[in-house]
Chains A and B, each alone.
Chain A
Amino acid sequence: MLLTALILLPLLGAIPLLIVRDNNAREIKVWAIMISVLTFLISLPLYFNYDPDGELFQFVELYRWFSLQGLRARFSLGVDGISALLIVLTTFIMPIALLGSWNYIKDRQKEFYLCMLVLETAMIGVFAAQDLFLFFVFFEASLIPMYLLIGIWGGDNCIYATTKFVLYTVFGSLLMFVAILFVYHKCGAAHFGIAHLTEQLAQLREAGMLSRAEEFWCFWAFALAFAIKLPLWPLHTWLPDAHVEAPTPGSVVLAAVLLKMGGYGFLRLVVPFFPMASEAYAPLLMVLCIVGIIYGSLMAFTQKDMKKLIAYSSVAHLGTCMLGIFSFTAVGVQGGAYQMLNHGISTGALFLLVGMLYERTHTRMIDYYGGIAKIVPVFTVCFVLVTLSSIGLPLTNGFVGEFTCLMGAFQRNPWFGVFGGLGVVLGAVYMLYLVKRVFFGKVIRQSNEHLADIGGREMALILPLLAMIFVMGIAPNPFFRRMQPAVEEYLRLSKAHKPAPVAPAPRTVAARPAPAAPVPVPQDATELPDVGNEP
Chain B
Amino acid sequence: MPQGFAELLSRNAADLGLILPEVMVALAFIFGLVVELALPAKDAENAERRKTGTYVLLIGLLLALWINVNDMKAYVGSLDQAVTIYSTGRDGATVTVTRNTDMTSQDFIYSKMVVRDSFGTFVKFVLLLGTIVTVLVALNAKELESNGRGEFILLLAATCLGGMFLASSTNLLMLYLSLESLSIVSYAMAGFLRGDRKSSEAGLKYVMYGAMASGIMIFGISYLYGLTGTLNLDEVAAHFRGMEAGHAPHTRGALAAVLAMVFAGLLYKIAAVPFHYWAPDVYEGAPTTATGFFSVVPKAAGFAVLVRVIAAFFPIGDIDDQGFNFVTAEKVLTVVAILTMTIGNLAALGQSNAKRMLAYSSIAHAGYMLAGLAALSNANGAAAVLFYLVVYLLMNLGAFLVLVALENVRGSCDLDKLRGTIRREPLLGTALVIFLFSLTGMPPLAGFIGKYLIMLELASAGNWLLVVVMGLNSVISLYYYMRLAKAVAIDAPGETPVSGESNPPVLGVLAVGKVAMLLALFVWFEPVQKLCQQVMVPLLPSVDERFVAKPDAGSAVQDEARLTPAPSPEHLAATPEPER
Interface residues of A (CB under 8 A from B): 62-72, 74, 136-138, 140-141, 143-144, 147-148, 151-152, 159, 163, 166-167, 170-171, 174-175, 177-178, 181-182, 184-191, 193, 196, 200, 203-204, 207, 209
Contacts and interface: CB of A to CB of B under 8 A. Distances in A.
Contact of A69 (B444, B489, B560): B560
Chain A contact residues, majority secondary structure: helix
Contacts of A136: 443
B455 A178 contact: yes
A100 B489 CA distance: 24
Nearest to B579: A64
Contacts of B456: 71, 181
Contact of A182 (B459, B525, B530): B459
B443 A188 contact: no
Contacts of A140: 442-443, 448
B94 A188 contact: yes
B444 A185 contact: no
Q: Pick from B437, B443, B456, B571 the residue with the most CB of A within 10 Å.
A: B443
B362 interface: no
A70 B572 contact: no
Nearest to B527: A66
Interface residue range, chain B = 35 or more
Q: Pick from B94, B464, B564 the residue with the most CB of A within 10 Å.
A: B94
Nearest to A143: B442
B560 A196 contact: no
Contact of B571 (A66, A159, A203): A203
A55 to B, nearest CB: 15
B486 interface: yes
Given A181-B467, A200-B572, A191 B475 contact: no
A141 B444 contact: yes
Interface in B503-558: 523, 525-526, 529-530, 533
B467 A178 contact: yes
Given A147-B482, A178-B471, A191 B576 contact: yes
Given A70-B562, A152-B490, A177-B471, A166 B464 contact: no
B39 to A, nearest CB: 41
A117 to B, nearest CB: 15
Interface string B88-101: 00001110100000
Contacts of B246: none
A514 to B, nearest CB: 9
Contacts, number: 127
B575 A190 contact: yes
Contacts of B467: 178, 181
A137 B479 contact: no
23 contacts: A62-B580, A63-B579, A63-B580, A66-B525, A66-B529, A68-B530, A70-B87, A137-B448, A148-B490, A151-B486, A151-B489, A151-B490, A163-B486, A167-B478, A170-B478, A175-B471, A182-B459, A185-B459, A187-B572, A188-B562, A200-B572, A203-B571, A209-B572
A414 B472 CA distance: 40
B561 A70 contact: yes
Given A64-B579, A188-B574, A170 B474 contact: yes
A152 B478 CA distance: 17
Contacts of B577: 62, 190-191, 193, 196
B245 interface: no
Given A68-B529, A181-B467, A188 B565 contact: yes
Contacts of A175: 468, 471
B569 A207 contact: yes
Contact of B460 (A68, A167, A185, A209): A185
Contacts of A159: 486, 490
A181 B455 contact: yes
Contact of A188 (B478, B560, B568): B568
Contact of B574 (A64, A189, A209): A189
A184 B474 CA distance: 21
A190 B474 contact: no
A170 B574 contact: no
B264 interface: no
Given A170-B478, A171-B475, A181-B455, A144 B562 contact: no
Given A166-B478, A178-B455, A209-B567, 19 more contacts: A62-B579, A62-B580, A64-B580, A67-B579, A69-B96, A69-B560, A72-B576, A138-B443, A144-B442, A147-B482, A148-B489, A152-B490, A167-B475, A174-B472, A175-B468, A188-B564, A193-B577, A203-B572, A207-B569
A88 to B, nearest CB: 24
A184 B455 CA distance: 12
User: What are the nearest 3 A-B pairs in CB distance?
Assistant: A70-B562, A190-B574, A66-B526
B67 interface: no
A14 B530 CA distance: 33
A135 to B, nearest CB: 11
Nearest to B569: A207
A70 B576 CA distance: 9
Nearest to A187: B572
B204 interface: no
Contacts of A191: 576-577
A62 B472 CA distance: 33
Contacts of B567: 209
A178 B470 CA distance: 9
B390 to A, nearest CB: 16
Nearest to A18: B430
A64 B524 CA distance: 11
Contacts of A66: 525-526, 529
B455 A74 contact: no
Q: Pick from B92, B478, B529 the residue with the most CB of A within 10 Å.
A: B478
Given A207-B569, A209-B567, A74 B443 contact: no
Contact of A174 (B380, B444, B475): B475
B455 to A, nearest CB: 6
Given A170-B475, A170-B478, A69 B576 contact: no
Contacts of A166: 478, 482
B94 A185 contact: yes
Nearest to B525: A66
A63 B523 CA distance: 12
Contacts of A71: 456
B85 interface: yes
A163 B576 contact: no
Contacts of B455: 177-178, 181
A74 B94 CA distance: 20
Contacts of A64: 579-580
Contacts of A167: 475, 478-479
A234 B222 CA distance: 61
Nearest to A159: B486
A74 B578 CA distance: 12
A163 B482 contact: yes
A28 to B, nearest CB: 15
A343 to B, nearest CB: 27
Contacts of B572: 187-188, 200, 203-204, 207, 209
A70 B561 CA distance: 6
Nearest to B526: A66
Interface in B437-464: 437, 442-444, 448, 452, 455-456, 459-460, 464
Contact of A137 (B444, B471, B568, B574): B444
Contacts of A207: 568-569, 572
A492 B534 CA distance: 45
A196 B443 CA distance: 23
B86 to A, nearest CB: 11
Q: Pick from B490, B533, B567 the residue with the most CB of A within 10 Å.
A: B490
Contacts of B92: 186
A8 to B, nearest CB: 13
B2 to A, nearest CB: 54
A136 B533 CA distance: 25
Contacts of A186: 92
Nearest to A75: B523
A181 B85 CA distance: 22
Interface in B473-496: 474-475, 478-479, 482, 486, 489-490
